[in-house]
């Protein structure tokens, strides 16, 4: 049973939303973030990446950097760019990318549901990233980014949502990544009650993206409970801001890998090792090979693309082992190349599938040696792993479109 509540969002005025809204903090390199903030000083990116307003080389984890984020958030309110709602609301949030639409409910979700595994995780968090977002929330007294949740198709909210989205929207604009962003405010008491009840019938919610944001909200909540032992459970710090979308509207891109070296092997030796491990490797004569089904990978080595097919020797049936990304990690990256922890090993990097196959070629010609393009993980696979109480290898999923930061802030 999922517990949610409406909230008084701090949000941009409609006339300012296009200037304020930005992609999430963690999709940009430091230089990319600095360039955006320099060109677009109204962007909310300066608040979620406050080091961008300091000289290069400034420690992004210093106290003065976090304090600046809080100061700039207050300035946004003072200068009229952002305003808090008069009453608690839900929001309906629709994104349309390349003709494909996903429509979700923005709300505050119970931290206890995260702690008790009603809100389920599919990957581990890293200490540094979790500590960063935890301190950002604490210093700003606000959650500035949304968690991206999914719910199963059997929970159908379409009749409620359809009745709301026929009205005039609160926001309707095309973001800089060419995604149409539309938001409707829900402040009618009967509609709020219906949405709350619909989520109350859900057994589980699943984190699609935003594990660090959710974990950080939970960390802040636990600390505040220790400081306030008489807490009621209704305080804002007991909830995390998120948007929940139905499973059937979500699309997962592959998360590809590029590797620095072949662990002392030549190209021919590496291909031979792949074949001995349990893969069929076929050189592509013309153009690029795009994986078309589970168990297929594309590999770029030298100046050639190869089709790499799994055989029974490497195919497993358990929920984690059966993932293509697990097969690659266990039998190739670890088994052949000695990359045991891809979260820490600098010899491997991850490239979102939305960047295309050309990006993999570019990296191999620039600073890497080997690339693997994956067949995307499915939502059913994500649900199966999390329902088993397990986690996927790092960077198993890449969801698009990304949520915009700056549309809503949850003050705690």
Token pair 């592959």 is found at 254
Q: How many CB atoms lie within 10 A of CB 296?
A: 18
Categorize the per-residue pLDDT at 29 as very low, low, confident or very high, splitting at 50, 70 and 90: confident
- Averaged pLDDT, 223-227: 96
What is the pLDDT at residue 286? 83
d(CA 167, CA 287): 48
Residue 284 scores a pLDDT above 90: yes
Q: What is the pLDDT of residues 292-336, one digit of tens each?
A: 999 999 999 999 999 999 999 999 999 999 999 999 999 999 999
Distances (CA, A) of 146 to 155, 297, 327: 21, 32, 31
Categorize the per-residue pLDDT at 126 as very low, low, confident or very high, splitting at 50, 70 and 90: confident
d(CA 406, CA 412): 16
Distances (CA, A) of 99 to 94, 102, 191: 12, 10, 28
Residue 26 scores a pLDDT above 90: no
Distances (CA, A) of 288 to 270, 285, 353, 363, 380: 20, 9, 14, 15, 28
- Averaged pLDDT, 97-111: 97
More confident residue, 344 or 295: 295
**Bridge partners, 158 (sequence order):** none
Contact in structure between 67 and 138 (CB atoms under 8 Å): no
- Averaged pLDDT, 140-167: 95
DSSP 8-state symbol, 301: E
Categorize the per-residue pLDDT at 343 as very low, low, confident or very high, splitting at 50, 70 and 90: confident
Prediction pTM value: 0.92
Portion of the chain with pLDDT greater than 70, in percent: 100
What is the pLDDT at residue 1? 86
Burial class (CB in 10 A: 0-12, 13-18, 19+), 54: middle
């Amino acid at each position: 049973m999922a517990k949610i509540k409406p909230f008084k969002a701090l949000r941009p005025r409609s006339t300012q939303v296009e200037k304020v809204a930005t992609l999430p903090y963690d999709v940009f390199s430091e230089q990319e973030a600095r360039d955006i903030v320099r060109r677009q000083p109204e962007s909310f990116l300066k608040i979620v990446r406050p080091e961008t307003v300091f000289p290069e080389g400034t420690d992004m984890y210093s106290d003065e950097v976090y304090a600046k984020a809080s100061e700039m958030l207050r300035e946004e309110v003072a200068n009229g760019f952002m305003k808090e709602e008069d009453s608690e609301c839900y929001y309906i949030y629709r994104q349309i990318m390349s003709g494909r639409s996903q429509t979700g409910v923005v709300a505050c979700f119970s931290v206890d549901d995260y702690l008790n595994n009603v809100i389920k995780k599919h990957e581990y968090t890293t200490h540094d990233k979790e500590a960063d977002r935890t301190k950002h929330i604490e210093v700003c007294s606000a959650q500035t980014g949304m968690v991206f949740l999914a719910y199963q198709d059997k929970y159908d909210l379409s009749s409620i949502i359809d009745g709301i989205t026929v009205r005039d929207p609160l926001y309707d604009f095309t973001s800089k990544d060419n995604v149409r962003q539309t938001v409707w405010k829900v402040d009618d008491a009967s509609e709020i009650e219906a949405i709350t009840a619909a989520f109350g019938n859900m057994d589980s919610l699943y984190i699609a993206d935003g594990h660090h944001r959710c974990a950080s909200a939970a960390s802040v909540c636990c600390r505040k409970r220790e400081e306030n032992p008489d807490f009621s459970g209704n305080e804002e710090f007991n909830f995390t801001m998120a948007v929940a979308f139905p499973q059937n509207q979500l699309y997962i891109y592959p998360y590809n890998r590029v590797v620095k070296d072949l662990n002392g092997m030549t190209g021919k030796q590496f291909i031979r090792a792949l074949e001995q491990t349990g893969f069929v490797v076929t050189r592509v004569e013309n153009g690029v090979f795009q994986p078309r089904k589970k168990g297929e990978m594309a590999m770029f080595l030298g100046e050639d693309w190869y089709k790499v097919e799994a055989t029974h020797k490497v195919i497993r049936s358990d929920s984690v082992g059966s993932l293509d990304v697990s097969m690659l990690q266990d039998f190739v990256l670890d088994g052949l190349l000695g990359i045991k922890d891809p979260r820490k090993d600098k010899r491997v990097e991850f490239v979102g599938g939305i960047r295309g196959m050309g990006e993999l070629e570019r990296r191999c010609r620039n600073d890497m040696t080997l690339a693997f393009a994956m067949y995307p993980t499915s939502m059913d696979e994500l649900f199966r792993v999390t329902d088993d109480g397990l986690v996927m290898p790092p960077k198993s999923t890449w969801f698009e479109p990304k949520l915009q930061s700056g549309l809503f802030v949850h003050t705690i």
